[in-house]
């Protein structure tokens, strides 16, 4: 883990309030694994860095996606090509590779780290969203990296109507593992289906993080191995240890 001063190559909106930020960061790109994240110092007036899952590491560039939800991300959205950012990373433990083809399952901004997994692993993707507008840019991001893209929308405006958990049991048979990231309720449902079918499942948690370095405990979660820090022990965990046993519902 290092601190890098990196140049912004692009910072553009791709959907409502969602931006794609591309950084010229060859050293960081070389050492990052899918599932890891970076902490961005957005501006001097913000004490805390903001965590973002790494979405791509190809061509010496690091790409992230972010949703504008507050002052920090609003300030980030105003940065322009040629500006520099202070980046800490790569942080955390990423996805562990496995043999065979992996099914990635994600929703919302949880699709960002899965995009990096799609770049690095033999995988297909199941994308869930509320509406067509929410999923089409993700579809085009994943297209170069996977063979199959499955999509569900809550309102049925695109592909299959329903949740990822409605479609997952129908397609699960072709895969040797499931990696998931997104809203916790979605990951819990995905983990239940995967584990019921005896498939290994890795879950990547998104948490608010104060330090990002394991020092403040603000990101702790319960696991069968006790309390763990998402920033240092994760963000990727074995689903059995987080959602296994009695907690699986
Ligand atoms: Fe401080 Fe995880 S963010 S311990």
The ligand 1 atom at the shortest distance from the C-alpha of residue 209 is: 3
Which pLDDT score is estimated for 158? Answer: 94
Look at residue 96 and tell me if it is in a domain: no
Q: Is 126 exposed, middle or buried (0-12, 13-18, 19+ CB in 10 A)?
A: buried
State residue 1's pLDDT score.
62
pLDDT value of residue 245: 62
Q: How many domains does the chain have?
A: 2
Examine the fold and report which residue of 43, 63, 91 is the final residue of a domain before the chain moves on: 91
Q: Specify the ligand 1 atom closest to the Cα of 220.
A: 2
Below-70 pLDDT ranges, the chain: 1, 245-249
What is the pTM (predicted TM-score) of this model?
A: 0.94
Residue partners of 127: CB distance under 8 A and separation at least 6: 106, 107, 111, 135, 138, 139, 142, 149, 150, 151, 152, 164
**Token pair in block for residue 66:** 């972010």
Looking at the structure, do residues 63 and 179 belong to the same domain, yes or no? no
Asked if residue 152 and residue 50 are part of one domain, the reply reads: no
Of the residues 93, 216, 234, which should be mutated to test ligand 1's pocket, given the most ligand atoms within 8 Å of the CB? 216
**Structural domain containing residue 41:** 2-91
**In the structure, which protein residues have their CB atom closer than 6 angstroms to any atom of ligand 1?**
209-212, 214-219, 229, 231
In CATH, what number is assigned to the domain containing residue 47?
A: 2.40.30.10
Specify whether 44 is located in the same domain as 141: no
pLDDT single digits (tens) 20-70? 999 999 999 999 999 999 999 998 887 788 999 999 999 999 999 999 999
């Amino acid at each position: 883990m290092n601190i890098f001063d990196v140049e912004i190559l692009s910072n553009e909106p791709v959907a409502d309030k969602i931006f794609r930020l591309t950084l010229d960061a060859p050293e960081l790109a070389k050492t990052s694994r899918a599932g890891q994240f970076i902490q961005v110092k957005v501006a001097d007036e913000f004490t805390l860095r903001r965590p973002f899952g790494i979405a791509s590491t190809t061509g010496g560039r690091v790409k992230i996606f972010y949703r504008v939800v507050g002052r920090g991300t609003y300030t980030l959205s105003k940065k322009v090509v040629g500006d520099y950012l202070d980046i800490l990373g790569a942080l955390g433990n990423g996805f562990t590779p496995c043999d065979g083809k992996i099914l990635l399952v994600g929703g919302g901004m949880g699709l960002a780290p899965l995009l990096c997994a799609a770049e690095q692993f033999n995988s297909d993707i199941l994308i869930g969203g509320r509406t067509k507008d929410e999923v089409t840019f993700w579809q085009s991001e994943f297209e170069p990296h996977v063979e199959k893209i499955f999509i569900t929308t809550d309102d049925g405006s695109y592909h299959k109507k329903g949740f990822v958990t409605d479609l997952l049991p129908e397609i699960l048979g072709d895969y040797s593992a499931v990696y998931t990231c997104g809203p916790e309720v979605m990951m819990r449902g995905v983990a239940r289906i995967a584990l019921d079918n005896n498939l290994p499942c890795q879950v990547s948690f998104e948490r608010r993080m104060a330090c990002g370095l394991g020092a403040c405990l603000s990101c702790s979660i319960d696991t069968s191995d006790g309390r763990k820090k998402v920033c240092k022990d994760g963000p990727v965990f074995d689903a059995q240890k987080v959602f296994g046993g009695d907690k699986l519902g």
